[in-house]
Amino acid sequence: MEVVRTRRFPDGAVALVVGALAITAELVAFLVPAPVRPGVGVIVAGAVFLGLLVWMGMAVKERFRGRCRAPTGWDDGGGEWFTRQSLEGFPRSEVCARTGGAGLVRAEEAWVFARHGYGTAWLTSRLGVSNEVARTLVRAVQEQAVGVGRGSSGAEADGLDQQ
């Protein structure tokens, strides 16, 4: 499901208001008596300036929407996924050898997901890690599982690719 964001105040409506205020300023210059023109002109010019500020503020807000949100922890039914212990057993030397050190943060994220049972196909499609790195991570997770007594066979290793 794709979420589509709609704007609360369309830029076009703000532009029309600013344009209307500018036209009003021109009309005021011709219709208001000469002694009152400077005061009314300042008020209308201030309104036009305020309208432009609102318009620019909305444009900036729209451009940067969602970029500065604080990250939220993902809960796995009782514990955070990303903890200090999340990278225990991470095959840093193998991953660096395959990637040359580039994309190490993304590989660490993929490691956490691999520890939670996600396979190579999911890691490559959703997180953008290479197939080779994803296989290395899944293999390392399986080796850890064997090391702690939750053994897995080669058939199960191929089954992780199906997730």
80-117 b/e (C-beta count within 10 Å ≥ 16 → b) = eeeeeebeeebbeebbeebbeeebeebbbbbbbbbbee
Partners of 75 in the beta sheet?
Answer: 80
| pLDDT at residue 35 in the model | 86
| pLDDT at residue 65 in the model | 66
- DSSP string over 40-73: HHHHHHHHHHHHHHHHHHHHHHHHTTTTTPPP-P
103 and 43 inside one domain: no
43 and 97 inside one domain: no
92 and 156 inside one domain: yes
Helix (H, G, I), strand (E, B) or coil at 14: helix
| pLDDT at residue 138 in the model | 93
Q: Quote the CA–CA distance of 117 and 12 in Å, as a whole number.
A: 48
| pLDDT at residue 10 in the model | 61
89 and 140 inside one domain: yes
In tens digits, what is the pLDDT along the chain, a chain of 163 residues?
A: 454 455 555 667 767 777 887 788 788 778 888 888 888 878 878 887 887 888 788 777 777 765 544 444 444 444 567 777 788 888 988 988 888 877 888 888 899 899 888 999 999 998 889 999 999 999 999 998 887 654 444 444 444 444 4
Radius of gyration in angstroms for the set of CA atoms belonging to the chain, rounded to a whole number: 29
99 and 45 inside one domain: no
Please provide the size of the chain in residues: 163
75 within domain boundaries: no
97 and 137 inside one domain: yes
Q: Which domain holds residue 136?
A: 84-160
- Note the pTM of the prediction, 2 decimals: 0.44
How many domains in the chain? Answer: 2
152 within domain boundaries: yes
6 within domain boundaries: no
| pLDDT at residue 159 in the model | 46
146 and 98 inside one domain: yes
88 and 57 inside one domain: no
88 within domain boundaries: yes
78 within domain boundaries: no
56 within domain boundaries: yes
| pLDDT at residue 28 in the model | 76
68 within domain boundaries: no
29 within domain boundaries: yes
Contact call for residues 74 and 109 (beta carbons, < 8 A): no
